[in-house]
Amino acid sequence: AKQMSIAKINYDSAFHYELQTFTEKRETSWAFTPYGGGDIDGPGTGPAPLPCEVVAGPANLFHDEVKVVQVPHTASVKECHRCKGTGSLQCSECHGKGWTRCLSCHGDGWYTD
């Protein structure tokens, strides 16, 4: 290294480009919960937006996340399909709580086969 000499120094630019992409997937499905009274946001309050029009931004970009959001103007009150509106049957899955955790996805909305 003592015998080396620098003959010439060239100044050049170097660039490092990095492309990051962000995508999302939206799905709609019907869900049911026991009606607890009060106002509902049904079709009478306006037209239902398209899935891409529902505001549901991510908490952090580039991190896996699942959000469950009710689509505005799609709620309705209907007769219970299990007890036919009698109120006499206690759900064997939720034992009257009104909800149960999905065993396939553990409540996050997604599962892998």
For the chain, what are the domain ranges?
A: 79-112
Residue 21: band (very low, low, confident or very high) from pLDDT cuts 50, 70, 90: confident
Per-residue pLDDT at 111: 57
Torsion region of 62: left, alpha or beta (phi above 0 gives left; psi -120 to 50 gives alpha): left
Residue 11: band (very low, low, confident or very high) from pLDDT cuts 50, 70, 90: confident
pLDDT in tens, 30-89: 888 878 888 999 999 999 999 999 998 888 888 889 989 999 999 998 887 777 777 766
Angle at 11 between CA 17 and CA 20, to 5 degrees: 5
DSSP state letter for 20: -
Residue 113, pLDDT above cutoff 70:
no
Q: How many residues does the chain have?
A: 113
DSSP secondary structure string, 52-90?
Answer: GGS----SSTTS------PPTT-------TTTTT-----
CB environment 76-101: b (16+ within 10 A), e (fewer): eeeeeeeeeeeeeeeeeeeeeeeeee
Per-residue pLDDT at 1: 62
Per-residue pLDDT at 10: 87
DSSP state letter for 60: S
- What pTM, to 2 d.p., does this model score? 0.53
CB atoms within 10 A of CB 72: 16
